[in-house]
Structures are given as structure tokens and as C-alpha cells.
Amino acid sequence: MRRREFVSILGGVAALWPLVGIAQQRRVPTIGVLVVGSPGSEQFWQLFQKAMRGLGYVEGQSVRYEFRSDQGQGSRLPELAAELVRLKVDLIVTWFTPAAQAAKQATREIPIVMALAGDPLGTGLIESLNRPGGNVTGMAGVTAELAGKSVEVIRELLPSAHRVVALANAPDPFSKPFLEHIRLAGVATGMTIDAKMIRSAEDLEAAFSEMEKERPDAIIVQPSLPGKRSAELALRYRIPAVSAVRGFVDEGGLMSYAAAEADMYDQAAVYVDKILKGAKPADLPVQQPTKFVLIINMKTAKALGLIVTSAFLVRADEVIE
């Protein structure tokens, strides 16, 4: 090889070195997102991406997402979580307890941020709120307490109510604290609480068929159940239905008493930002929501023939007409 050609090639390689360094510096992190396909999952996804953009993360430029939903089939979560692990994502964001459980079972190394998980301490996701330990941190929903609050809200709206059915998602480990708080609220308000464990779509249909004969005064739907179908069935059988997630009301449910979701997802994005910048999940205390909203769907209330007092409407944070 001639000296001139060698120098030319060497110069070209040298010119590439800074570009290689820049490419390495610009490595774009990939975030896996795993959700339960229930009411509010789409709103979570929209709000979370908005929060990330507010922190300077632009999809395709400074961050990539791998979004996975179980589409209402909880049995798919373990494989979806395993798929995200195989993709070697830098971090996994989860929405609802079953998704967080599946992610934790799939990996002990990849950081996991809970955008919303009911009672992560009681379900074994974390060791404590202040020192979560392991690879999981984020937002702990107080959905169990809110389920109990739903009993009180039902009593406010329907003073004559005396029997409430709680529809619990049997495969979801959160169903236990969910039912415990509803039963405690039932004792406090003097209402009878009947629990129905739902394991499949067929169970859900059968539960409403039974309620046509039993005629409860209201039902409380666990958020991880198929909300849209639950709302449709409740309207068909003319039973007031409440849940602790805002999306339930958007899909035709009567009421929801829930944490202000935008605030929670903003905080989840902050966790992601901190971890991508080097923080360890075990060192980031788990937070709980501090703001809650009562929402009522007046279109559904009218379809059910309910009389909603002006005092109750004033108390509501949002009225869907």
C-alpha cells in the first residue's frame, strides 16, 4: 500500500472516532411499559408520555418505548413481561398491581417503576415505603382505601341503600385488601357487603345474571376488571356501579372516587428520569397520592332513573353530562 493511501485511510478512520463517541453518548434509553387492559390504561399512557415530554424526553430522539397491554387477559402478563426483559429494556413502567407483579417475577435486575399499584407493601412488591429494596419503586395507589370510601359515597348518593356487591378480580393479589376495606366500610355504614370473585369473562356475565334476581342497591368494581363491560352490564341490569378509577366513569360507569391520575403519572415520570440518570430504585421512597376526585356520570344516572341532589353535585369534582 502506498504511503499516501495509508495516510488517507488513517485520516478517514481518525475522522470517524469523534462520530463514534457522539453515537455512544447519544444512546437512546428504551422504556418498557406494561399495563393491564382495563379502564384508564389509555389515559395513563397519554398522560405518562406527556409527563415524560415535560421532562425533555422526546420519543424517537431521547427515549424509545416498548408498550405492552394484556388486552384484558391477565394470563398474558408474564409472557409480555418476559418479552420486555428479552428486549433488554433499560427500565419497565407498570400500571396496576398484576402488571407490577409480572414484571418483578420476570426480572430482579431491570428497574421497575409503578405508575400505579394498589398496596405494593401488602402484595410483596416492596419491603417498605421508605426503603422499597430490590428493583421496584414508584407510586402506591390507595385504591383499597378508596374502595372503602366508595361505600360511603354510595350511602351519600343513595341514603336507602343497604346491600352492595363487590366484584373482585380473583387472580389479582390486590383483591384481598380491596375486599377487606369494603367490608370494613360496610360495617361502619351498616350496609351488607356481598363479594363475588371474578376469574373470567364468563364469571362476570354470570355475576350480573345472578344480580338480576338478587337486586343489590349498588356494585363496586375492582379497577383491574374489564371496566367497559362491567359498566355496560350494570346499565343493562339497572344497577348503580362505582369504581376507584376515573376511566370507569368515562366508559359509562356511574361514579368513581379516585386519586388524581395526572399527578401520579407526573411523579412516575420523575422516578423514571431519576433512575435513567443513575438513581437506584431501592433508594427511592415509594409515594402515595395526596389528591382525590369524585366524578359522576349524569347521563348514566338519568338512564338509571336516579335523583341526584344538588348538594351531591356540588360535592363532586367533575360532572359528566
- Decide: 259 and 71 in contact? Cβ < 8 Å: no
Residue 5: the pLDDT is 52
Residue 19: the pLDDT is 44
Going by C-alpha positions, the residue among 262, 261, 243 that lies closest to residue 251 is 243
What averages of pLDDT result for each successive group of 10 residues across the chain (321 residues)? 49 48 66 88 93 96 96 91 98 94 97 91 88 94 78 93 95 88 93 95 94 93 91 96 91 92 94 97 93 94 95 94 87
Give strand ranges (E) for the chain: 30-35, 64-69, 91-95, 112-118, 136-141, 163-169, 192-198, 218-221, 241-243, 255-259, 292-297, 318-320
Residue 119: the pLDDT is 80
Maximum distance among all alpha carbons in the chain? 98
Going by C-alpha positions, the residue among 250, 90, 245 that lies closest to residue 169 is 245
Specify the pTM: 0.77
- Decide: 116 and 142 in contact? Cβ < 8 Å: no
Residue 141: the pLDDT is 77
Count of all residues that appear for the chain in the document = 321
**Distance, CA of 269 to CA of 271 (rounded, Å):** 5
Give the three-state DSSP class for 239: coil
Residue 29: the pLDDT is 97
